[in-house]
Structure formats: structure tokens, C-alpha cells
């Protein structure tokens, strides 16, 4: 019997690798003779870079850059095992972890640090860069990233604009002649599960602005600034990406990446599964054990467990996919066209804090119970 263990992270609790280990420990207690393969996954959000680097035998490289508030920091970018492909998780430089309710500056937070990481990766000679767009603290339309790579944005007084969303609303002219020439020699792939456009009621500002510290008035202002920026881009560069799916990812970093880097958007889980050669892992698998922090109807739209299940069923139609998550909503029944079973790992009634604290033990225990059920239902000759 072959069991592939391929969970996403439990956000705020455990990494995908840690979850996979807990699942393996529990399953092996009940099914010690089965063949196991631990294959942690991600969907473009937090932890994607580490998953890809670990799976391909790559390395993490430190680079100096700036956080979303302009403070100097040291962040990391990854080089995959092929030595040619870079992976940048924008949140490592400009993520929500750098702000609090008291320090959030939604109108001035910048993606400049992400541009600095891209520049460092290009300096390393990398020609293909995967840019993961989850968990941003920014809503600047990606103008900071572009500034770090040399593009000049000027206001009506012909002076360079500053950083952040407010600066995007001040742009009157764009000079791309100073763009780092290495950008044109590289291929950029946007890794994300976000399909929001740049502007409008489903755009970056109104959908994600609140989590970045913006109130409703600020969200409306941010949306107007991004619309202005997009219209200047359309008029001067003849590139109309404002309403393109994914342009609103990472506060509009998706938009700027399409415009200035020529980047193409791909579903995060699809990119990850391709890079880790998931098709080979799932070959001849009897069971796929996956999971995430919380599973509901939204899991169907780009999240790792559902995308993974669909890919597994296409390769191995008879495999059974079991999703073990910290919380499973009633709406998860909509996932049953691809996922066979959804189970919550939380044991007993407990607060969120308590659930996070006991997540290792709970995942292990639930996995062991799944293993015991499999052992009861399958002949010993198949173990």
C-alpha cells in the first residue's frame, strides 16, 4: 500500500513539512508496513518558497532589502534544485508580519523590498523567477517593486513620486528606459490563488484593504489611486491589465508584474505540483492524505487540497483522497467531487489558541485513527 502525505501548512500553527511529519507519525502507528512519501505542498501563499526549495533540494539566499514601512531588513529568496529557477515570496519582505494594528500604513506601505529581492535574484544570474503573491501588507499597485527595478514615476511637477498607494495616485508620467536590463532577459511567473482584478468592489483595495489596516474611507481612496495609476499605464504604455484576473493580488503587485515584468499568472497549486513533480509521486498511490488550516467552500477555488486532489485523480483515478484540516465547515461538502473525505483534526471542544497549541498531537491522533480505519477495511495482503 502506497500513501502520499501532501498537506499545506496550518496557517498560524505549523508548516506544511511539520504537518506532513505529524500525519506520517500517526499513520505509521496503525499501518507500519505501508509505503510512505511525504510531499508537503503550497498554493502560492505563505510557505510556498520553503516547500519548493525543500522539495527540489535548493537553497535559501539572504539579501538586504526594506520592509513595507521602509525599514532595512534582511530577507530571503530561494534557488530551486536546478540552479536556474528563483522563487521569491513577496511576504518575506513586504508581508503582514511587519505591521500591527498600530503601525499599519495602508496608503504608504510599499513593495520596494520585493523589487530589491528580484534585483538580487537577477544579480545571481537567475533567468526564471517564480513570484509568490500571498500575505502582502501593501496596496501600492506594485509601484514600489517597479521603482526598485529602475522605473521612474513622475508627478505633474515632473518630480519623482514617493512610495505607496498615495504615490500611485500621483503618477503623471512613466519612464521605463531606466528599467534594469536584466528584467527583459528573465521569465517571471506569478504564483497565486487570487483572481481579483486591480480595482472595483472585488479589487485589491475593497477586498484586502481592511486586513492591511485601511478603513472604508481609505479603501475608497486607495481604489481611486490604483484606478488612476492603471489609466496612466494604459494611456502611456498601452497595457490594459486593470481588470485582468489576478491583477489585484498582493495589493496590485500582480498588476505591476504583468505590466513591467511581462509576468504570466498561474494558479499557485499548479505551479507547485509541477515543480515538485507531483505526478511521479502520486503514481501507484492508494491514498493521498492532504489538509490545511481550515477547509470550506473556498478551498475549491485555488487552494492546495482541492487542486491536489483534482491532479491526483487525473493521474490515479482510483486513489482515495482524504483531507485532514484544523477546521472543516459544513460547506466543504462541495469538495466531494474530488476529495473523498474531509475530517477535522481538533479533538474536543477548545479555543483557537488551545487548538493551535495542541495541533501536533491532534493531527497525529487523527491520522492514526484514519490509519486504523484503513487497516480494518483493507486485507492485510494489501499492506
| Domains defined along the chain, listed by start | 2-40+277-382 (3.40.50.10350), 48-268 (3.90.1510.10)
Residue-level pLDDT at 377: 86
d(CA 37, CA 295): 23
Helices (H), the chain: 16-30, 48-56, 91-94, 112-123, 143-148, 165-168, 204-208, 216-237, 253-261, 268-275, 278-282, 304-315, 352-357, 359-377
Say how far apart CA 368 and CA 373 lie, in whole Å. Answer: 9
Beta-strand relationship, 327-328 and 35-38: unpaired
Phi and psi torsions of 189, nearest 5°: -120, 125
Cell numbers at residue 56, please? 527540489
Which one, of 191, 226, 188, 231, lies nearest residue 205 by Cα? 226
Supply the pLDDT for residue 382.
Answer: 55
Model confidence, pTM: 0.89
What pLDDT is stored for residue 244 in this prediction? Answer: 97
| Alpha carbon distance 52, 71 (integer Å) | 28
Q: What pairing do the DSSP bridges indicate for beta strands 59-66 and 173-175?
A: unpaired
> According to the model, what pLDDT value does residue 379 have?
65
CA distance 26 to 104: 41
**Which residue from 263, 214, 233, 261 is spatially nearest to 172, judged by alpha carbons?**
233
Q: What is the pLDDT along the chain (383 residues), one digit of tens a residue?
A: 999 999 999 988 899 999 999 999 999 999 999 999 999 999 988 889 999 999 999 999 999 999 999 999 999 999 999 999 999 999 999 999 999 999 999 999 999 999 999 999 999 999 999 999 989 999 999 999 999 999 999 999 999 999 999 999 999 999 999 999 999 999 999 999 889 999 999 999 999 999 999 999 999 999 999 999 999 999 999 999 999 999 999 999 999 999 999 999 999 999 999 999 999 999 999 999 999 999 999 899 889 999 999 999 999 999 999 999 999 999 999 999 999 999 999 888 888 888 888 999 999 999 999 999 999 987 654 55
CA–CA distance, 254 with 262 (Å, rounded to integer): 11
Q: How far is CA 330 from the centre of its chain?
A: 25
| Contact yes or no for 202/219 (Cβ under 8 A) | no
Q: Judge contact between 222 and 210, C-beta under 8 A.
A: no
Amino acid at each position: 500500500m502506497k500513501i502520499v502525505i501532501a498537506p499545506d501548512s496550518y496557517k498560524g500553527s505549523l508548516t506544511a513539512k511539520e504537518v506532513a511529519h505529524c500525519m506520517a507519525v500517526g499513520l505509521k502507528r496503525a499501518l507500519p508496513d505501508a509505503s510512505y512519501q511525504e510531499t508537503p505542498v503550497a498554493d502560492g501563499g505563505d510557505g510556498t518558497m520553503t516547500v519548493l526549495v525543500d522539495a527540489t533540494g535548493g537553497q535559501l539566499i539572504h539579501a538586504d532589502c526594506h520592509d513595507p514601512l521602509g525599514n532595512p531588513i534582511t530577507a530571503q529568496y530561494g534557488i530551486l534544485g536546478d540552479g536556474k529557477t528563483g522563487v521569491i515570496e513577496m511576504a518575506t519582505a513586504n508581508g503582514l508580519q511587519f505591521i500591527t494594528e498600530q503601525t499599519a500604513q495602508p496608503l504608504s506601505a510599499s513593495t520596494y523590498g520585493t523589487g530589491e529581492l528580484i534585483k538580487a535574484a537577477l544579480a545571481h544570474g537567475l533567468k526564471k523567477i517564480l513570484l509568490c503573491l500571498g500575505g502582502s501588507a501593501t496596496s501600492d499597485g506594485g509601484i514600489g517593486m517597479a521603482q526598485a527595478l529602475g522605473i521612474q514615476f513622475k508627478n505633474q511637477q515632473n518630480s519623482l513620486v514617493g512610495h505607496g498607494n498615495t504615490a500611485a495616485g500621483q503618477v503623471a508620467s512613466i519612464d521605463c528606459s531606466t528599467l534594469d536590463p536584466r528584467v527583459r532577459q528573465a521569465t517571471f511567473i506569478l504564483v497565486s490563488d487570487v483572481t481579483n482584478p486591480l480595482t472595483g468592489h472585488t479589487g485589491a483595495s475593497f477586498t484586502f484593504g481592511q486586513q492591511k489596516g485601511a478603513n472604508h474611507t481609505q479603501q475608497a481612496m486607495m481604489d481611486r489611486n490604483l484606478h488612476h495609476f492603471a489609466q496612466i499605464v494604459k494611456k502611456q504604455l498601452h497595457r490594459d491589465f486593470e481588470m485582468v484576473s489576478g491583477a489585484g493580488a498582493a495589493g496590485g503587485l500582480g498588476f505591476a508584474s504583468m505590466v513591467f515584468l511581462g509576468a504570466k499568472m498561474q494558479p499557485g497549486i499548479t505551479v507547485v505540483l509541477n515543480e515538485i513533480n507531483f505526478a511521479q509521486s502520486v503514481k501507484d498511490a492508494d491514498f493521498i492524505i492532504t489538509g490545511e488550516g481550515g477547509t470550506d467552500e473556498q478551498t475549491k477555488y485555488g487552494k492546495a487540497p482541492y487542486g491536489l486532489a483534482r491532479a491526483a485523480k487525473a493521474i490515479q483515478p482510483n486513489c482515495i483522497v482524504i483531507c485532514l484540516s484544523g477546521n472543516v465547515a459544513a460547506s466543504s461538502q462541495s469538495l466531494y467531487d474530488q476529495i473523498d473525505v474531509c475530517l477535522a483534526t481538533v479533538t474536543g471542544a477548545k479555543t483557537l489558541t488551545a487548538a493551535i497549541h495542541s495541533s501536533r498531537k491532534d493531527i497525529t491522533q487523527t491520522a492514526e485513527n484514519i490509519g486504523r480505519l484503513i487497516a480494518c477495511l483493507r486485507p492485510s495482503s494489501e499492506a
